[in-house]
Structure 1
Amino acid sequence: MSLRKLPEIKAFTRPGAYQPDAPADALDQWRPRAAEADEKATISVYDVIGEDMWTGEGVTARRVAGALRAIGKNPITVNVNSPGGDMFEGLAIYNLLREHPAEVTVKVMGLAASAASIIAMAGDRIEMGLGSMFMVHNSWGLVMGNQNDMRDAAETFAEFDAAMADIYTARTGLGRDEIEAMMNAETWLRTERAIEMGFAEATFEAPAYDDKEAQGMKARARLDATLAKAGMPRVERRTLLREAAGTPSAAGTATLSAGFDVDAARRLLETLKA
């Protein structure tokens, strides 16, 4: 029930060997920020999409559905700063926001990349903070298994790419060929260019956050991006980062306040660079 005529996208069957992850270059560009207390009609998307390596759960469709139930049939604002992640969760969140009966305003507070860019497209109005960025690309994820697993995943990814192209085309008014070329090339758009191409309508000045929690989140993100670029799978990064944080227990019990050792992260980063 979006005020715009945005396409409804069917749910896809998740390949059995699929492992969600945010793209390494998006993790590298992402600058985490500590989430402010949400106002009654505001939803903050300030984490990876889907399961998160620190809290056990990042921004999920279940969480967004709960927030929408609490807000009711009222206009909402969705603040986005995310490198993306699980494309299936991203599409589910897009469909939830698309079905909201009142106006949806999306504010890109820093980065809306990959699956997060799909979530942003559900806005009736999209605003970008000065210096913010969009990133669009083809479906991305890790798949392990035999030739049948790989073939099944490739077919699903192709269908997912077509669905994303439908969304971007409907939202921007750009030609389908141009959208597909942008996705194939992995395209990064700064605020002015995003508005020019129809991915957003206006700018705003985002508030600055530089508190201790945000600094720790930035250190973790830089370390995670370095490990991802080195080719380390997410499950192995999760184990190593928990050890660096001094929380060797299961991912579900780790929290953002678990006393992450920033100095240890910096030393490890310098070792990796060397």
Structure 2
Amino acid sequence: MTLKTLPEIRAGRMPETFAFEADPEAFDRWSSGISAAQAPENTISILDVIGEDIFGEGVTSRRVSAALRRIGDQEVYVDINSPGGNFFEGVAIYNMLRQHSQKVHVRILGLAASAASVIAMAGDDIQIGRAGFLMIHNAWVIALGNRHDMREAADVLEPFDDAMASVYAAQSGVEKAQIAEWMDQEKWFNGDQAVEVGLATSLLPADAVAEGEPKDRTQNSTKKVDTLLAKAGMPRSERRALLGDIKGGTRGAAPHVTHDADDWTAAAEQLITAIRS
């Protein structure tokens, strides 16, 4: 058996001035109800944001490492439906999978965006649903600080983008310069397009994907609000406290009311306007 030789992505320590978050557009286009109709044995499911979010949820490298230890020296299947998230966690998961001693089968069930698309590239074969999407872009972060911090953030991100371009190029056979141009454009590929350019090897059978109701609608809406607040520059600790108050209420506050996604988004946009003013 011959396994692909894929580049390693080296990621140092993340500067304190910025944090990796899921791209708001990717999060908006993510359907969390998509899953596998039937999962093969030794499957690792990546069906959430990458990295631990402010609610303690998400797919982490620690969890994937534990799953790989359990599977041992056997072939592994990786099912993906994720809007991306923490770049460092995505890189760690990618490196673990590329170092696995046996074949890695990746199945993109719905969406593999941003950090999740990097993870997908660790597959020796990559299947994608015809109605699925793969999105590649430059590393996306929330940065805070003065002009020196901003320059440092750009300097830190540049080698990451170059490393990702190398990974996409190695998997697809497309020239690295073309990949870099696609990343600059935040390029979206549907299933057929991903196969055509080599970012996936084949289409998934139609009966391999199941689409159910989105997971906890309120929780998903809250995550979307969290992403919008992050984009506005609010630090994670403050977002955690604020959303905790909104969801659970505080002593003496008005009774808790559950909103739908549109209400949450409108509230977030109003809050962001207030923060910026």
Question: Which one-letter code corresponds to 1:47 in the other structure?
Answer: D
Question: CA separation of 1:264/1:108 partners in 2, compared to 1, >3 Å: closer, same or farther?
Answer: closer
Query: What is aligned with 2:28?
Result: 28
How is 1:78-227 mapped onto 2 (pairs within 5 angstroms)? 78-204=78-204, 205=206, 206-210=209-213, 213-224=215-226
> What is the distance in 2 between the residues matched to 1:90 and 1:261?
35
> What is the distance in 1 between the residues matched to 2:154 and 2:105?
34
| TM superposition shift of 1:184 | 0.6
Query: What is aligned with 1:43?
Result: 44
What CA RMSD, in Å, does the superposition of the two structures yield over aligned residues?
2.8
Question: Which one-letter code corresponds to 2:213 in the other structure?
Answer: D
Residue identity over aligned pairs, in percent, reads 41
What TM-score do you get using the length of structure 1 for normalisation? 0.83
Greater mean deviation of Cα atoms: 126-135 or 145-154:
145-154
Question: CA separation of 1:31/1:234 partners in 2, compared to 1, >3 Å: closer, same or farther?
Answer: farther
> What is the distance in 2 between the residues matched to 1:76 and 1:138?
28
Query: What is aligned with 1:267?
Result: 263
| TM superposition shift of 1:232 | 5.5
Question: CA separation of 1:225/1:62 partners in 2, compared to 1, >3 Å: closer, same or farther?
Answer: closer
User: Unmatched 5+ residue regions in structure 2?
Assistant: 251-255, 271-277
1:207 alignment partner, SS class: strand
Query: What is aligned with 1:64?
Result: 64
User: Unmatched 5+ residue regions in structure 1?
Assistant: 249-259
Question: CA separation of 1:265/1:171 partners in 2, compared to 1, >3 Å: closer, same or farther?
Answer: closer
What TM-score do you get using the length of structure 2 for normalisation? 0.82
Q: Report how many aligned residue pairs link the two structures.
A: 260
Greater mean deviation of Cα atoms: 27-36 or 157-166:
27-36
Q: Flag the structure with larger Rg.
A: 2
Question: Which one-letter code corresponds to 1:124 in the other structure?
Answer: D
Deviations 1:147-168 (A, max 9, x none): 3332222111000000001000
Question: CA separation of 1:2/1:50 partners in 2, compared to 1, >3 Å: closer, same or farther?
Answer: farther
Question: CA separation of 1:130/1:217 partners in 2, compared to 1, >3 Å: closer, same or farther?
Answer: farther
Question: Which one-letter code corresponds to 1:263 in the other structure?
Answer: H
| TM superposition shift of 1:97 | 0.3
Deviations 1:110-139 (A, max 9, x none): 111111110010011111123111110111
> Is 2:24–2:224's contact at 8 Å kept on the other side of the alignment?
no
Greater mean deviation of Cα atoms: 56-65 or 173-182:
56-65
